Amino acid sequence: LYRPYLHCKVWVCVVFFILHGYGIVIDAGSSRSTLFVYKWPSSRENNTGIVSQHSSCRVKGSGISGYANNPGNAGRSLKTCLEQALHDIPESSHKQTPLYLGATAGMRLPRLNVLTAVADTMRSYRFDFRGAKVLTGQEEGLFGWVTVNYLQENFIKYNWIGQWIKPRKRTVGAMDFGGASTQLTFETTKSMENPNSLMVLKLYEHEYKVYTHSYLCYGRDQVMKKCLASLYKSSTGDNLRISVMNPCMPTGYQTNRTLGFIYNSPCIKEERPTNISDSSIVTFIGSSNPTKCKNYLQEIFDFQSCNFSKCSFNGIYQPRLTGDFMAFSAFYYTINFLKTTLKKDITTPHELEEAAKSICGDSIEQLREKAPTVKIERLVDYCTTSLYIHILTIEGYKFNNETFKNISFQLKVLFYTDLSTPSAQRDPACSMPLRPACPTIGGWTFSLSVPALWNSIPLSLHFALSVAFFKACLKTLLFNCAFGHPPTPTLPDLHPS
């Protein structure tokens, strides 16, 4: 049966499907912010969306939490990247593009005036502003875990015969080391002595029980300040200018810090001495002493308190470590520096400790010779971060000679992942809409899993998904044109029963 308008209708359907939905997420970390543009086809697998990264923009300057004394500048700092997003997304999609900002540990410290200023700036653009939110520690840890396992296809994958399948692989744990906090997250089958550490989520119709904990004030930047505060306690001198030997810095290097810089963080506020002036200057002089440096860093932790059968540190419950782990952010950058500088693999706790001691024992001249391209401000901090990572992973998280081998140190993969849990559905920052599919399939529950190691999902996956939905779309239109009514929309079997 020939219908002359059939070709036109099929063309419209194809164009409608090819148009993607877009979403913008600003990842506001403690030390920097990045704007990400994501896009997705109008399809879901087992009620979970398949998303790819479209573009990104690094916001100039520090993280927004650094604008506590001038909140207006926090909003203005985002404008360049928001303008880029206007160009990266088709103009016809601007009003339908949801825009979110999610702040992590640095903003969990009291800086809500900054969040208000940032929201005002975002609201002035033509996007669909959905909110600016400070993630909880559990959310930050859990989102990193979801992203890591999404990238490794541990939740779902597309097999060679064109089916979505649940891989027979275990999930991997996630270890994040940011500027203000560090997170440990992994799936566990053990009963939890502390139910507050358990999160249950459903992805691709499968349920996962996950342990997660975020240690606020134990990120890289805050650890540096804690170490300086501890060193200052042992100092002597007049109230205006004090010199302190710093065993964590290389000999031949010194730096000046004001007491205001050291004690301006809520993480250090309780340790602030009375009757000091923020403008007083402390000169820290490097002495390259790894043993003393390690002693100062260990004082940051409480390894004794524990009201459970097992604890990490500071009395925090932690079940037994299971499976493989991926460590990213400052974990990766520090370990990669040690490997590159010392030209050796680090596969055991002993090798990590020896590598850290080697770096901590070098003078500034020796470090510059080994790593001539690294900025001096970063170079002098690698002693502290490498020893700290050894203490955190071995004494804190309780990795040993066997389980340490299960850690894979990788580039940063934590961005945003919105979960299809009841709480996520109630959360306005977790309801990114999809453009209706052709044909329309009902029952939307969206879970955003963001690729961060690769710029996009493999083209083969997008192609296979497009072919499947084009067939369903074409079938519906053919029936509609030929018989006057559409059949019940059916899609290819994307997952085996």
pLDDT tens, position by position, 226-243: 999 999 988 765 555 689
Q: Is residue 428 part of a domain?
A: no
What pLDDT score does 236 carry?
Answer: 60
**Is position 180 annotated in a ligand binding site?**
yes
Query: How long, in residues, is the chain?
Result: 497
pLDDT tens digit sequence for 242-258: 899 999 999 999 999 99
Q: Which residues contact 490 (CB under 8 A, 6 or more apart)?
A: 472, 475
Torsional sign, CA 188, 194, 195, 199? negative
In-domain check, residue 476: yes
Buried b (16+ CB within 10 A) or exposed e, 136-172: ebbbbbbbbbbbbbbbbebbbebeeeeebeeeeeebb
Domain final residue pick, 411, 445, 477? 411
| Alpha carbon separation from 30 to 66, 67, 68, 262 (Å, rounded) | 8, 11, 12, 16
Q: Is 298 annotated as a binding residue?
A: no
CB 313 within 8 A of CB 388: no
Residue 323: both structure tokens together: 């499976």
Which range, of 156-170, 210-224, 282-296, averages the lowest pLDDT?
156-170
Of 42-56, 169-183, 364-378, 460-474, least confident by mean pLDDT is: 460-474
Helix ranges, 102-194 (H): 105-108, 112-123, 137-151
CATH number at residue 371: 3.30.420.150
Is 229 in the same domain as 311? Answer: yes
Domain membership flag for residue 494:
no
Number of other CB atoms surrounding residue 446 within 10 Å:
22
Q: Assess whether 101 and 223 both reside in one domain.
A: no
In a shared domain, residues 467 and 402:
no
Residue 179 assigned as binding residue: yes
Decide if 441 is inside a domain.
no
CA neighbor of 398 nearest in space, from 247, 213, 273: 213
Q: Is 434 inside any structural domain?
A: no
Among 345, 376, 411, the domain-final residue is 411
Within 13 Å, how many C-alpha atoms sit on residue 65's CB side?
Answer: 24
Q: Whole-model pTM?
A: 0.73
Burial of 256 (0-12, 13-18, 19+ CB in 10 A): exposed
Amino acid identity at 241: R
Q: Tell me, what CATH number does 68's domain have?
A: 3.30.420.40
393 known member of a binding site: no
Q: Which residues are catalytic?
A: 140
User: H helices of 234-289, where?
Assistant: 259-263
Q: For residues 181 and 122, state if they share a domain.
A: no
Which residues are bridge partners to 202 per DSSP?
Answer: 207
Residue 382 domain flag: yes
Cα 355 to chain centroid, rounded:
27
d(CA 323, CA 214): 19
Residue at a domain's end among 359, 384, 411: 411
Residue in the structure block whose two tokens are 């929201």: 119
CB 180 within 8 A of CB 224: no
Is there a single domain that holds both residue 121 and residue 228?
no
Q: Which residue has the tokens 């403008």?
A: 279
- Tokens of residue 378, six digits: 């970063």
Are residues 329 and 464 part of one domain? no
Task: Tell me: do 70 and 217 sit in the same domain.
Answer: no
Q: Domain range spanning residue 200?
A: 168-411
Assess if residue 221 is contained within a domain. yes
* 39 — pLDDT class (breaks 50, 70, 90): confident
Q: Are 409 and 335 in contact (CB under 8 A)?
A: yes
- Whether 390 and 465 map to the same domain: the answer is no
Task: State the amino acid at position 107 in one-letter form.
Answer: M
CA 314 distance to own-chain centroid: 24
Q: Are residues 381 and 281 in the same domain?
A: yes
Question: Is residue 198 located within the same domain as residue 87?
Answer: no
Q: Is residue 80 part of a domain?
A: yes
Q: What is the pLDDT of residues 41-95, one digit of tens each?
A: 755 545 555 677 889 999 998 888 778 778 889 899 999 999 999 999 999 999 9
As for how many domains the chain has, the answer is 2
As a whole-number percent, the residues of the chain with pLDDT over 70 amount to 72
Average pLDDT, the chain: 77
Tokens of 258: 């004001």
Pair 322, 469 in one domain: no
Name the residue with higher pLDDT: 144 or 363. Answer: 363
Cα 221 to its chain centre, rounded Å, is 16
- Examine the domain organization and report whether 463 and 320 are in the same domain: no
